Amino acid sequence: MDSSIAVLQAGLISTLGDLIATPSVTPPSDTRAVCAYLADCLKPMGFNVETLSRASGVDNVVARAGAGSPQVVFNCHIDTVGSGAAENWQSDPFVATLRDGAIYGLGANNCKGSTAVHLAVAETLMRNGGPQRGEVVFTFVGDEERLGSDGLAFLREAGAVRPDILFVGGPSQNRLITEERGVMWARITTTGTAAHAGEPQAGDNAVLRMVRLLAHLDREMTSRLGERVAGAKRSTLNIGRIDGGQSANVVPSFCAVDLDRRLLPSERVDDAFSEITDIIAAVGEPDGTWATELQLGTNGYAVSREGPGVVALSEAIETVSGRPAAYAESLGVSDGRFFADDKIEIVGFGPGDGATSHAPNEHVLVDELVVATHILDHALKTLVG
């Protein structure tokens, strides 16, 4: 192995080991310790480093170098899901374990592997004198795993980042993600009148009302969404959670259901929410006995494959790997969605297979970490010198 590659590989393994050993589980999405580690890594490199927060425990690191345009922003989320049952892991989820060419541990794949890569890219950038034109900003944020707004959304709202190009780290097996579906979470509530279960006709059953609404919604949306397809992407609806009633011997006076809608890039959150509300209204339940509430929503995006960020990454992939760039479909959503309406270039890219995310024995291939670092180094040199 070339000595420079060996040094890079050792550094990536060491950094990822430190990140895995620093818990940042959501909930509670406490990223203070891991952000302190990241800030300590970035400051000696010569970056202007800030730790910003608007929610207790949810810290976010912003490290910048250079000035002017273009502003190239790198982003990784550093919170993880929980590890689940320990017996399902072959090794301690909070101890990085090197096995068969891969590093195992909680967050190794999503998204601490990309975090280690971005740190390595940041180090190379500053060792070579920093950006010769424009500004490069590295961001490491919390609150992503619960689709929250106290991470990258907060940095956007605070004006801490105004990217021309946004590279979102995440497991794509070093393929490019240039399109992402939107997401909408909505809640339906129904109300009724409580009564003794021995005389249910004396009450008004809120759960039965919800059953009528959901049956109609499911029929109608199944028909409509079957026609909304764009390539491998589909428009979907999931009825994810239901809560209602007090006990079996009481006619329930309240019921709530939480929905998840994934939207094609051409669909809009407001339209999707109105569609659900209109379908439910058509059932004819009495006014005041049901309601819909939009809990969160961000539109999807699709960026040109001719943009400077995509072109720079594509050329870097071919230079490093000797193969043309490949594109991946995103199953979930990333923090890039907060910039979906800003008309900027958003590109997802990083090591790891999304299929191992959020699962026991999560892992990332060491070779993918090394290759991803070289690709981003090349792309960044093209963009900022």
Residues 192 and 140 in one domain: no
Q: What pLDDT score was predicted for residue 331? A: 80
Question: Rounded to whole angstroms, how far apart are CA atoms 308 and 336?
Answer: 17
Nearest to 166 by CA among 308, 279, 360, 59: 308
Structure letter (DSSP) for residue 259: E
Residues 290 and 148 in one domain: no
Residue at which a domain ends, from 278, 298, 318: 298
Q: Residue 145 is encoded by which pair of tokens?
A: 């795993």
Residue at which a domain ends, from 298, 327, 352: 298
Tokens 């550094």 map to which residue? 11
Which range marks the domain in which residue 68 is found?
Answer: 3-180+300-384
Tokens 């609150």 map to which residue? 143
Mean pLDDT of 88-112: 96
Mean pLDDT of 149-172: 97
Within 10 Å of residue 209's Cβ, how many Cβ atoms? Answer: 21
Residues 97 and 171 in one domain: yes
Q: What pLDDT score was predicted for residue 332? A: 82
Residues 156 and 44 in one domain: yes
Task: Output the average pLDDT for the chain.
Answer: 96
Tokens 């090794």 map to which residue? 91
Residues 68 and 175 in one domain: yes
Q: How far apart are the first and last CA of the chain?
A: 28
Q: What pLDDT score was predicted for residue 1? A: 63
Within 10 Å of residue 167's Cβ, how many Cβ atoms? Answer: 28
- pLDDT score of 313 more than 70: yes
Residues 163 and 32 in one domain: yes
Residues 247 and 311 in one domain: no
Q: Residue 385 is encoded by which pair of tokens?
A: 């010198």
253-287 tens-digit pLDDT: 999 999 999 999 999 999 999 999 999 999 999 99
State what percent of residues in the chain have pLDDT above 90.
94
Nearest to 209 by CA among 227, 187, 229, 192: 192
Residue at which a domain ends, from 271, 298, 325: 298
315-343 tens-digit pLDDT: 999 999 999 999 998 888 899 999 999 99
Residues 113 and 221 in one domain: no
Contact residues for 61 (Cβ-Cβ < 8 A; gap 6+): 35, 38, 39, 42, 49, 50, 51, 52, 138, 139, 140, 141
Residues 135 and 264 in one domain: no
Residues 220 and 348 in one domain: no
Residues 80 and 151 in one domain: yes
> How would residue 196 be classed by pLDDT, with cut points 50, 70 and 90?
very high
Residues 170 and 72 in one domain: yes
Q: Based on the structure, what is the number of domains in the chain? A: 2
C-beta of residue 364 within 8 angstroms of C-beta of residue 352: yes
Domain of residue 240, CATH code: 3.30.70.360
Mean pLDDT of 31-45: 98
Contact residues for 381 (Cβ-Cβ < 8 A; gap 6+): none
Q: What pLDDT score was predicted for residue 2? A: 73
Question: Rounded to whole angstroms, how far apart are CA atoms 193 and 288?
Answer: 12
φ and ψ at residue 87, rounded to 5 degrees: -70, -15
- pLDDT score of 68 more than 80: yes
Q: What pLDDT score was predicted for residue 3? A: 76
Domain of residue 355, CATH code: 3.40.630.10
> How would residue 38 be classed by pLDDT, with cut points 50, 70 and 90?
very high
- pLDDT score of 65 more than 80: yes
Alpha-helical segments (H) within 205-358 = 206-225, 269-281, 308-321
Q: What pLDDT score was predicted for residue 271? A: 98
Tokens 């301690």 map to which residue? 92
